[in-house]
Structure 1
Amino acid sequence: MKQLIKTTLLVAASLWSVATLAAGPTVPLDEAKVDLHDKASLQRGAQLFMNYCLGCHSMQYQRYNRTFKDLEIPEDLGVENLQFTGEKVGDLITNAMATEDAGTWFGTAAPDLTLVARVRGADWIYTYLRSFYVDESRPFGVNNTVFPNVGMPHVLEELQGIPRKTTEQRMVDGEMQDVYVGIKTDGSGMLTDAEYDQAALDITNFLVYTGEPMMLQQQRIGWYVFGFLLVFLIFAVLLKREFFKDVK
């Protein structure tokens, strides 16, 4: 009986954890209008990722040469501008940060991002990159509305500027309360708000690609399969009519 109760409690705890993760963020997510046909966006996203994200996050299930080929980046330019840790062009995309160092500096190792778009979704990534705000109580001085108490710095701050959480006084349940309305920057970034939003979308686009590099090819093959089935259906109907034309 004790073992049954213990097992039941473990199952309940597991289900609660899954339900909590599935609940998602408490703030609305912005739509990420990703376009895997936009090679310029994918190339910019790769450049931003390699320059700002790869220092901590690896992409250990994706290879440099596969990325260069799919994104139509000449290999010599890719090696010169997108490889910084001495790997060969056929190597997997890893970083130079030791797991022990990551644990010491950030509390835990930074996750691999190869499949993050499949786990989190494009809208989550896009909104997350645009939801950092100043929070002096946090170790790196920033927090995130989509991922509260996130354990990483705002690495894109030089592009965006210093973001601050803004609120407005609104009537809620008969009382005036401060209601979160968005993030506003101080204008000190290298990019305008619109340009930063595009940069966040480019990174998101790139991460969607790495999560499913064959997606475009699968879609193209899918149309061929659909066309084959349509032609097969026509012949099947005609054949059926021929076989049963004398049946009353």
Structure 2
Amino acid sequence: MKKLTAFLLMMAPVVSMAAGGGIKLMEADVDLNNKASLQRGAQLYVNYCMGCHSLSYMRYNRMGKDLGLSDEQVVQNLMPVADFSKSPQGETPKSGSLMKNAMPGEAAEGWFGTKVPDLSVVARSRGPDWLYTYLKTFYVDDSRPMGVNNQAFPLVGMPHVLWELEGLKKPVYETHETADGEEVKELVDYEFVKEGSMSPAEYDNAVRDLVNFLVYVGEPAKLDRYKIGVWVILFLVVLFFFAYALKKEYWRDIH
């Protein structure tokens, strides 16, 4: 057991480095209680992400209910944007439909070099801080097929779909010398080459809203679980006193 514990402690930094792509992650600071943020994030998702990335474990009406939107609001404000998706029967999705799209896997692999992943649980697998950092660290790279690279996910095949909001930026490098005398370049900052429609602060908030929405999609019942968990703990505390009193009663004649 001691050897296993020591091994896990040794591996923790490696796992952390793999999850963060070898860079220090920025703090997303999401708030699932902020429904306005979730609504803005949902709108950003269907406008900029839904064309390629489906959310096949989420239904439109479930999302609307959790985000404080009626079915009519979901259909009018969210579904029309993503409504290029058709069922195999050629029917337009209803409010109870899953949030799928029509991106063909084989064609996507040819276009982007890999199949486009479903993002239903990406916030659970990657973490909100990684997503936030990823969406903020795209930079111009003419050597890449899409013209951009990413500091958190080097050589990523995805284009920077939010570039119109953020703008385009180029990396700023510093050269350092290692202990072996080898010179290495380190990306330390960015410099804008094209301004976006948002200021840096506005873009930060937009990315935070988008990540907040993806965190919600990854576990829609998370807040309910927290609330139920508090009541379960209180129940167990009360049960402990009753169980202790019963134990004392059973062992009264012995002690």
TM-score under structure 1 normalisation? 0.85
Q: Are residues 171 and 202 of structure 1, via their aligned partners in 2, closer, same or farther at CA, if it must alter by over 3 Å? A: same
Q: How many residues align?
A: 230
Matches within 5 A, 1:184-203: 184-186=191-193, 188-203=195-210
Aligned mates of 2:131, 2:215 — CA distance in 1? 10
Counterpart for residue 156 of structure 1: 162
Does the CA contact (< 8 Å) of 1:160 and 1:185 recur in 2? Answer: no
- Of residues 238, 245, 254, the one that matches 1:247 is 254
Deviations 1:44-80 (A, max 9, x none): 1101000000011111111100000011112212111
1:41 is aligned to 2:41: no
- Of residues 66, 87, 93, the one that matches 1:70 is 66
Aligned mates of 1:73, 1:146 — CA distance in 2? 34
State the secondary structure of the residue aligned to 2:195.
coil
**Which residue identity does 2:28 align to in structure 1?**
A
Structure 1: give runs of 5+ residues left out of the alignment. Answer: 1-18
Counterpart for residue 165 of structure 1: 171
State the secondary structure of the residue aligned to 2:210.
helix
Deviations 1:94-124 (A, max 9, x none): 1122223322322222110001111111111
State the secondary structure of the residue aligned to 1:182.
strand
Q: After TM superposition, give the deviation of residue 190 of structure 1 in Å.
A: 1.2
State the secondary structure of the residue aligned to 1:235.
helix
Counterpart for residue 126 of structure 2: 120
Counterpart for residue 88 of structure 1: 94
State the secondary structure of the residue aligned to 1:30.
coil
- Of residues 227, 230, 233, the one that matches 1:223 is 230
**Which residue identity does 1:182 align to in structure 2?**
D
Q: After TM superposition, give the deviation of residue 42 of structure 1 in Å.
A: 0.8
Aligned mates of 1:202, 1:69 — CA distance in 2? 18
Aligned mates of 2:94, 2:115 — CA distance in 1? 24
TM-score under structure 2 normalisation? 0.83
1:232 is aligned to 2:227: no
Aligned mates of 2:238, 2:16 — CA distance in 1? 44
Aligned mates of 2:174, 2:16 — CA distance in 1? 29
- Of residues 195, 199, 211, the one that matches 1:204 is 211
Q: After TM superposition, give the deviation of residue 183 of structure 1 in Å.
A: 3.1
Structure 2: give runs of 5+ residues left out of the alignment. Answer: 1-13, 84-91
Deviations 1:13-53 (A, max 9, x none): xxxxxx89983311111122121111111111101000000
Aligned mates of 1:169, 1:160 — CA distance in 2? 27
Q: Cα RMSD between the aligned structures?
A: 2.2
State the secondary structure of the residue aligned to 1:155.
coil
Percentage of pairs with the same residue: 50
**Which residue identity does 1:228 align to in structure 2?**
F
1:135 is aligned to 2:141: yes
Q: After TM superposition, give the deviation of residue 247 of structure 1 in Å.
A: 3.2
**Which residue identity does 2:25 align to in structure 1?**
L
Q: Are residues 183 and 75 of structure 1, via their aligned partners in 2, closer, same or farther at CA, if it must alter by over 3 Å? A: farther
Aligned mates of 2:95, 2:217 — CA distance in 1? 17
1:54 is aligned to 2:50: yes
Aligned mates of 2:146, 2:26 — CA distance in 1? 25
Counterpart for residue 105 of structure 1: 111
Counterpart for residue 146 of structure 1: 152
